[in-house]
Structure 1
């Protein structure tokens, strides 16, 4: 899965652990998403990460 999760997380000065705490999504899931090892993501997880990053989900997960 192509996404900008790591780029946006780092631009906000957050570690994976920080984002996990803010979003309620496990660090392992965040890591897996950032490395492209997950081919799917639930809308709930997407929403939690977008909210924690204060960035629209479309900007993180749906871009060209």
Structure 2
């Protein structure tokens, strides 16, 4: 499988159109289309970085499929950068059980996560501060 096939598959798996990927990455839709059709060569590492951000995937994975990494490097485990969930919720069209979430739905999800993790932080603080007998 060639780079352009893998790029197209990754984009479709994420549910993005070429235009959406272009908007998310800052890479032009025409260039992405040419890449996916095999009419362009392997993009530069800078372009791969932008595409990885737009696809919400690891840079090292794109570098690997583009052939920039040697096989010994490709077999190593790379840490992926954590995704900011609050930003992800706000900036993406999301679906849950076949229902597309409205901005209000996403706000409620964000609020619930805030409460969940606030409670978690409070309980871990209280167990750390308990005096030992």
Instruction: With the length of structure 2 as denominator, give the TM-score of the two structures.
Output: 0.43
1:22 counterpart residue number? 24
Alignment size in residue pairs: 63
Conserved in 1, the CA contact under 8 Å of 2:18 and 2:32?
Answer: yes
State the Cα distance separating 1:59 from its structure 2 match. Answer: 2.9
Mapped to 1, the partners of 2:46 and 2:34 lie a distance apart of 16
Mapped to 2, the partners of 1:11 and 1:61 lie a distance apart of 18
Cα RMSD of the aligned pairs, angstroms, is 1.8
2:57 counterpart residue number? 55
Instruction: Specify every segment of 5 or more residues in structure 1 that has no aligned partner in the other structure, as ranges.
Output: none
Cα offsets for 1:1-30 (capped at 9, x unmatched): x21111010111100000000000000110
Instruction: With the length of structure 1 as denominator, give the TM-score of the two structures.
Output: 0.82
Instruction: Specify every segment of 5 or more residues in structure 2 that has no aligned partner in the other structure, as ranges.
Output: 68-133
Change (3 A) 1:5 1:27: same
